[in-house]
Structure 1
C-alpha cells in the first residue's frame, strides 16, 4: 500500500484500505460536485486505488447521472438546475439521515397519516419505524411506496402521474389533484438546497409538489442534513419558518441553526442512536 501523499494540485490522497466502494464513490462525487469540473488525471490522484478501479467508479457515477465525462474531464450533473438520482442519494450520508429519525418518533403513532416527499432522507427516517402499526402513508416516491407496501399494518395512498426513473417518483396532474383533496396529519419533507433560510429544488415540478404537501398537512416538518446548507437550487419551495419544525443533524453549524431560529424556524437537532 502506498503512503498517503499530497499531489501538486493540493488534493489529499485517501487511503483505499479505509474506504468502501460507496465511500470511495462518494469522495469522488463530492469532489466533482464541489469543483464543478475536474480532470480525470486529478481524480486518479485523489484516491489511492488503481486507475481501473477509479474508471469503474466514474462509469457507475455516470450511469447514475451524478457526473458526465468528456475529453478527459468530469463534470457534475447536479447543479442549481439538476438533481442526482434517487438511487445515488440513497447511498449518501446514511448515518446523518438516520440521526434525524429520533426527532420524528413523537409523530409515529397509530392512526397518524403522513405525506412523504420523494427524498432519500424521508425514506431513511420511515425505515426506522416499520414496527409502528396503523400509519397511513401518502407519497409519490416508489422507494417509499415499496417500503410502505411491505408493512402489513400500513395503509398506502399513492400519488399518480408519470413515472420519473431518475427521481424514482410520479409527477403530474393526477398527483396534484390528490394532494388538493387530502388533509394529512403531517408532511415529512426534505430539501435539495437551503439558501438564506429558504428551501429550493432544481426542478419546478418537484418544488411545486413539496409546496402542495405543506398545504395538504396539518403540520409540516423539514428534515435536512448539514450538506443542504452548502447547495443552491433554482426553484423556491418555502421558507424554513413555514415548517412547524426543522430537523437537522448534529454536524450542522451552530451559526446556521442560530440564523434559522432568528428567522422564526423551530429547529431540533437529531441524535445518533446508541449502539
Structure 2
C-alpha cells in the first residue's frame, strides 16, 4: 500500500510528510514525491505550507526538521533527538533537586527528561509552561504543580507570551532548569525572541540556575543572544562534548559538569 493511498486530502498528506521528515531528520523532495505518488511540484506546495507553519525548513532540493541559526525544530523532532544524552544530563541535573524545594522547568525536551526522576524527590513544587510536563507531573503524588499559562503554541507544546511572563514574574523558586539551542563563547543563544523572553524571565525568579545542553548544541550560535553563561550556577553537558568546547567554557570560567 502506497503512502498516497493513506492520504486522501492535502492536509492528510502534509501530516504524513511532517511525520516522515521528523522521523528521518532530512529528506529530498523527489523522495517524498515517489513515496506519496504525487508530483514534485505538489510536494513543494505541501512543504511550503509546512514551512509556513514552522514545522519544517526547506533547502534546495529537500526539507529538514533539524535546527539552524534561525529555525528551531518542532517539539516532535526534539523529543526523538539525542535521547540517551538527554537522559544522562537529566540524571545529573536531578541530583541538585531535594525534597521540599520549589523548581521551575522550561519547555525544553532536555529538561523534560528530568520528569521521571522527580517522583523520587518529593514533596516538591514544580512550575512549568510545558504542557506535556504538566500532564506527566500531574500523575505523581507529592508533586504540587504551578502552570505558567499564556498563549498556547503547538510547535513547542508550551505557553508563551505576555501572560506567561506575568505568571513567571509572580513567583520565586529555589532553582530553574533550562535548555536552549546553542552555546558559544560566553553566551547561550536561541532562534526565537519570544522563547528568549520566557527563559530570561525564568532565570530572573530563581535562586539557582542550571543550563542543560547536549553536545550537539555546543560551539554553535543562533539568531538571538539569550544570556551570558556567567548567569548560570552550572552548565551540565553529556560525555559527547568535545574537549575544545569544554576548554572554551573553562577559559571563560564557566562552571560545568560532564554527565556520565
* TM-score (normalised: structure 2): 0.78
Is 1:242 aligned with 2:242?
Answer: no
SS class of match (1:107): coil
- Give the secondary-structure state (helix, strand or coil) at the position aligned to 1:268: strand
Q: Please, which of 148, 157, 162 is the counterpart of residue 168 of structure 1?
A: 157
Once the two structures are superposed, the pairs formed by residues 150-229 of structure 1 within 5 Å of their partners are: 150-229=139-218
Give the superposition deviation at 1:126: 2.3
Deviation string, structure 1 residues 13-59 (Cα, Å, up to 9, x no partner): xxxxxxxxxxx967841xx4xxxxx7445x79xxxxxx649x9xx99
For residue 254 of structure 1, what is the aligned residue in structure 2?
243
Mapping 1:97-176, distance limit 5 Å: 97-176=86-165
Can you give the 5+ residue segments of structure 1 that lack an aligned partner in the other structure?
Answer: 1-23, 33-37, 45-50
CA contact (8 A) 2:106 2:178 kept: yes
SS in 1 for 2:98: coil
Checking the alignment, whether the CA contact within 8 Å between 1:118 and 1:169 is kept in structure 2 is yes
1:93 to 66, 82, 100: 82
1:270 matched to 2:256? The reply is no
Deviations 1:63-110 (A, max 9, x none): 98234488x533567332221111221111100000112322332221
Structure 2 vs 1, CA of residues 123 and 165 (structure 1 numbering), >3 Å: closer, same or farther?
A: same
1:100 match: secondary structure: helix
Moved more, 133-142 or 188-197: 188-197
Distance 1:178 1:74, change over 3 A: closer
Residues 136 and 156 in structure 1, CA contact (< 8 A), matched pair in contact too: yes
Alpha-carbon separation, structure 2, partners of 1:122 and 1:155: 18
Q: Is the 8 A contact 2:57 2:71 kept in 1?
A: no
Counterpart for residue 73 of structure 1 = 62
Q: Which residue of 1 aligns with 2:3?
A: none
| Distance in 2 between residues matched to 1:239 and 1:124, nearest whole Å | 24
Structure 2 unpaired stretches of 5+: 1-19
- CA drift of 1:222 comes to 0.3
CA distance in 1, matches of 2:168, 2:63: 39
Whether the aligned pair in 2 keeps the contact of 1:211 and 1:238 (CA below 8 Å) is yes
User: CA, structure 1 residues 130+211, in 2 after alignment: closer, same or farther (shift >3 Å)?
Assistant: same
Once residues 165 and 54 of structure 2 are traced to their aligned partners in structure 1, the CA distance between those partners, rounded to angstroms, is 28
After TM superposition, what 4+ stretches of structure 1 lie above 3 angstroms from structure 2?
24-28, 38-41, 66-70, 75-78
TM norm structure 1:
0.74
